[in-house]
Amino acid sequence: MSVLPDPAVQPAPSATKDAQPAEHMIPKSRLDEVLETNRKLQERLDATEKERQEQLEAQLKEQGKYKELADQRAQKLAELQPKADQLDSYEVTLKSVLEAEIAQLPEEFQDVVPESLSTKDKLDWLAKNKSKFMKADPFDIGAGKRGVKPDKKPELTPEEKQVARNFGMSEEDYAKHKDGNPSQ
């Protein structure tokens, strides 16, 4: 079954043959209508296919052709088994991602994720609500650190290392003078 174009939606005529046609924008409401129509058609197609398959199975049962029926089911099972295995591995991966996401929450909020949801729905819920439970880390601007020795020694650029060698200084001495604290 094909979807006929809507006569109300017609492409705009181009002004000249040489001009590139402008990209047409589709209103969201129209897109939603088309998607809903496609979804309904797909549902009808699936239902028709299922009904046809059931009729074929009934005919085979009536005719006593159980071997053909068993072969068809075995073939269908063989087609679906790899997908089921893949789905199981995805579920395991999603659960481990969910556990990692929950572990990132502060301890007092790790039990707020609704247990009634599926793993996918829990991840969606957590993605939407995680920021509500996380404490913001303030940006460290170095306030109040005057005179405090840094934990690591500053690194010099290659140019600064060359300047230190030109003046006959060690890199450590140059770094101390660079920071403005030669008494270290």
> What ranges do the domains of the chain cover?
27-64, 80-133, 155-184
Q: Which residue has the higher pLDDT, 26 or 37?
A: 37
Please give the pLDDT value at position 24. 67
| Gap between the Cα atoms of 122 and 130, Å rounded | 11
Q: pLDDT at residue 148 above 70? A: no
- 112 touches 133 (CB < 8 A): yes
**Whole-number pLDDT of residue 47:** 94
Kindly report, residue by residue over 127-136, the tens digit of the pLDDT. Answer: 888 888 777 7
Whole-number Å distance between alpha carbons of 64 and 124: 50
Query: Residue 114's pLDDT is what?
Result: 85
Query: What is the DSSP secondary structure assignment for residue 184, as one 8-state letter?
Result: -
| Under 8 Å between Cβ of 118 and 91 | no
Confidence of residue 48 (pLDDT cuts 50, 70, 90): very high
- Predicted confidence at residue 51, as pLDDT, reads 93
Percent of the chain whose pLDDT exceeds 70: 77
The answer for residues whose C-beta is within 8 angstroms of residue 130's C-beta and 6 or more apart is: 101, 104, 105
Which two structure tokens, joined as six digits, stand for 24? Answer: 């047409």
pLDDT band at 4 (very low <50, low <70, confident <90, very high): low
Rounded-to-10 torsion of CA 166, 169, 170, 175 = -100
pLDDT at 43: 94
Name the band, by pLDDT with cuts 50, 70 and 90, for residue 30: confident
pLDDT of residue 46: 93
Are the C-beta atoms of 184 and 176 separated by less than 8 Å?
yes
Tell me the average pLDDT across 48-55.
90
What digits encode the pLDDT tens for the residues 67-124?
Answer: 777 888 889 889 889 989 998 888 888 888 888 888 888 888 888 888 888 888 988 8
